[in-house]
A = this chain, B = another copy of it.
């Protein structure tokens, strides 16, 4: 038989066991925190009707999707390229069945038929939460609180959640007579960190800003200091814009709420430069930077929007949400030497190894006892030499190895090897349970 070379498609990811265990640990943290804040799980099909998914139409997106059309069928299906459009479709389709405000989390893979290049995936996981149908500014504060809990538990060092409100930006432009070109100015501000001051000035001038306006934009975007400093500076600008005032009040409510929630002040910072794109967000916006790995970019972003599902329903569906691109985050952090530990190859805490077949039955009962107390246990009954058995246990990264030979089987004991401490002791099964579970 001619063999086919086994290979995954380019641009698609898969992990070896040690990596997958660590990836799942992060994923479980995200899920647990989302649930702790009362978000409901949601899952939607990987494929959507093309005309529904691409209702928005046009642009780059349509070139970057996996579309499927069967011969003889007039139904065209497309793989989802994010979790937001499926959410919009779901909420609009099930509007009468859902209870609003509707808060859901969705951990799922999305697909983009991108050109292959480093750091770009054609399949990646997005872990989203959104609250749909609420205008309460307190809701906006729950997202940074969740981000804080997640990244604290991740243990990748300190991090900063950058906050802004689009009403402040839009109101500011109104206040200085730039409402008509605000999109262009925002687009320029968005890349402030990547270009020089001279380039910035040139670009703003080419948009049509006069010298005073350029100066005011630069002054505005360089307002820095503590959160209270920035709020005070904003109030002191004396701008005449209802949007601006509304934005400042909402930002202040957000900051106050974060303090009451106990999020450390060092972890959230107003940053007036943050816009998060041009069209979608209309209120609070978020970005999250890992302080030790700023090169990764924002690891969790989002914001408030006015209109989730305008293509599907006339009902106004305001919302606010964030997304963690876990595949991308994981792949970036994998490149940091020593950060992601992948030595553990099994979720089991211990492996039980009968030394000979004659002890298989005893080994089975020991493993059953361990499992009945909640200890994740692997039973290893391969007919290997003791040396090969221990080599296997070592490579698998087990914390404990439990050997049962003739002596143990007849005495009703086990020999527990603590692999980290390089120590061993022969004890009763009951004592072994306590040793292994640390109780």
Q: Within residues 64 to 92 of chain A, which ones have a CB less than 8 A from any CB in chain B?
A: 66-68, 70, 75, 77, 79, 88-90, 92
Give the residues in chain B near A35, CB-CB below 8 Å.
347-348, 376
B1, B8, B93, B98: the one within 8 Å of A17 (CB): B98
- Complex Cα distance, B9 from A70, in Å, reads 14
Question: Which of these, B14, B145, B313, B368, contacts A45 with CB under 8 Å?
Answer: B14
* A55→B4 contact, CB < 8 A: yes
- Bound CA span A101–B260, Å: 52
CB–CB A47/B368 < 8 A = no
A430 at the interface (CB under 8 A from B): no
Nearest-neighbor residue (CB-CB) of A376 within chain B:
B36
Taking the closest CB of chain B, its distance from the CB of A20, in whole angstroms, is 5
Interface status of A217 (Cβ within 8 A of chain B) = no
Q: How far apart sit A347 and B122, CA to CA, in the bound complex (Å)?
A: 32
Beta-carbon contact of A260 and B361 below 8 Å: yes
CA–CA, A64 and B111, complex, Å: 21
| Known contacts A9-B75, A40-B346, A47-B123; 8 further A-B pairs (Cβ under 8 A) | A3-B311, A4-B312, A8-B49, A8-B93, A24-B41, A35-B347, A46-B111, A47-B66
Chain A residues with a Cβ under 8 A of chain B = 1, 3-10, 12-17, 20-21, 24, 35-49, 51-52, 55, 66-68, 70, 75, 77, 79, 88-90, 92-94, 97-99, 101, 103-104, 109, 111, 113, 122-123, 134, 136, 138-139, 141-142, 145, 256-257, 260-262, 309-314, 345-348, 351, 360-361, 364-365, 368, 371-372, 374, 376-379, 381-383, 392, 395-396
